[in-house]
């Protein structure tokens, strides 16, 4: 992938959800695209960035570093009680013992959903998110609606995600205001006794690890989720 493969048109508003109007090679570049190209070219010519290294960063987040890592972590915690307690004690160390997920740095914290407590993660001040285990955050997580409302009316936000909790359930919102990073350990769905880690991982949605969803039940499992 190179800077010459520009595509799409973005104006200065929130990105358009219509991505179908991609342009051919004769298209004009938007102001934003021109600014990005200009900045990269100047920084590369002056030795501050290596465009091949930028390609490698993009490739890492488009392939290796995504929610599949978190899915494996959660599935392991569901089947291995010793791992589960280590994860809740020190998630960074526990995840790095797994071997089948990409490495994580310091300050990862796992918080456990129970029948009495539902956890939900937000960053009201910017977009702090556990990149290493969940990849880059979805647009809604970084959006003003979520950042403004998650701490004020999380139940209303959850309802928009199709999640309704009993009134007596504590809803605990974690505002990521420092360099600690939170991942939610959702409850294991009923009806999954004897399932393998791989089968269980497929029930772990990204939203269930942010706290805006629950892990899928076996009867609602959908392809590619």
Partner 1 sequence: MSNTIHDMGGMHGFGRVEEEPNEPVFHSNWESRVYAMNRAMGPLGLWTIDEGRAAQEALHPAVYASASYYQRWLLGLEARALQHGLVTSEELAAGKAIELNDRPNKIFKVEDAVGLTRSNFDRAPAGKAVFKTGDRVRTLNINPQGHTRLPRYARDKIGEVEAVRGCHVFPDSVANGKGDDPQWLYTVVFDGKVLWGSDAEPGLKVSIEAFEPYIEAL
Find the binding residues for partner 1 in span 61-120 (CB under 8 A).
61-62, 65-66, 102-107
Indicate if 126 belongs to the active site. Answer: yes
**Which among 79-87, 161-169, 195-203, 214-222 is the span making contact with partner 1, rule CB under 8 A?**
161-169
Indicate if 128 belongs to the active site. Answer: yes
49/187 with CB nearer partner 1? 49
Indicate if 123 belongs to the active site. Answer: yes
The end-to-end CA distance of the chain, in Å, is: 27
d(CA 88, CA 119): 14
Least Å distance between CB 216 and partner 1? 15
Query: Judged by CB under 8 A, which of 82, 167, 193, 223 binds partner 1?
Result: 167
Return all residues near 161 (Cβ < 8 A) that are at least 6 apart.
Answer: 207, 212, 213
Q: Does 196 bind partner 1 (CB under 8 A)?
A: no
Three-state SS across 42-89? HHHHCCCCCHHHHHHHHHHHHCCCCHHHHHHHHHHHHHCHHHHHHHHH
**Which among 78-86, 176-184, 195-203, 214-222 is the span making contact with partner 1, rule CB under 8 A?**
176-184
Query: Judged by CB under 8 A, which of 28, 178, 190, 193 binds partner 1?
Result: 178
Q: In this structure, are residues 171 and 197 in contact, taking their beta carbons and an 8 Å threshold?
A: no
Q: Does 1 bind partner 1 (CB under 8 A)?
A: yes
Q: In this structure, are residues 206 and 67 in contact, taking their beta carbons and an 8 Å threshold?
A: yes
78/130 with CB nearer partner 1? 130
Least Å distance between CB 58 and partner 1? 4
Dump the DSSP string for 1-43. Answer: --GGG------SSSPPS-------TTPPPPHHHHHHHHHHHHH
Least Å distance between CB 99 and partner 1? 15
From 126, 148, 196, 225, the catalytic residue: 126
Indicate if 51 belongs to the active site. Answer: no
169/197 with CB nearer partner 1? 169
């Amino acid at each position: 992938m190179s800077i010459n493969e520009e595509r799409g048109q973005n104006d200065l508003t929130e990105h358009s959800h219509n991505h179908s109007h991609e342009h051919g090679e004769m298209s004009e570049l938007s102001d934003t695209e021109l600014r990005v190209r200009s900045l990269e070219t100047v920084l590369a010519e002056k030795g501050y960035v290596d465009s091949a290294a930028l390609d490698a960063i993009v490739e890492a987040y488009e392939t290796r570093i995504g929610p599949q890592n978190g899915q494996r972590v959660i599935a392991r915690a569901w089947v291995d009680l010793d791992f589960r307690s280590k994860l809740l004690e020190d998630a960074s160390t526990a995840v790095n013992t797994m071997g089948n997920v990409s490495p994580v740095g310091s300050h990862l914290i796992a918080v456990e959903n129970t029948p009495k407590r539902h956890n939900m993660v937000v960053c009201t001040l910017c977009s702090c998110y556990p990149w290493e285990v969940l990849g880059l955050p979805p647009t809604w997580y970084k959006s003003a609606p979520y950042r403004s409302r998650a701490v004020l009316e999380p139940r209303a936000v959850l309802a928009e995600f199709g999640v309704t909790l009993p009134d007596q359930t504590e809803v605990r919102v974690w505002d990521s205001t420092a360099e600690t990073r939170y991942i939610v350990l959702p409850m294991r769905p009923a009806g999954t006794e004897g399932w393998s880690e791989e089968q269980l991982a497929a029930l772990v949605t990204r939203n269930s690890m942010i706290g805006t969803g629950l892990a899928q039940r076996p009867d609602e499992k959908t392809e590619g989720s």
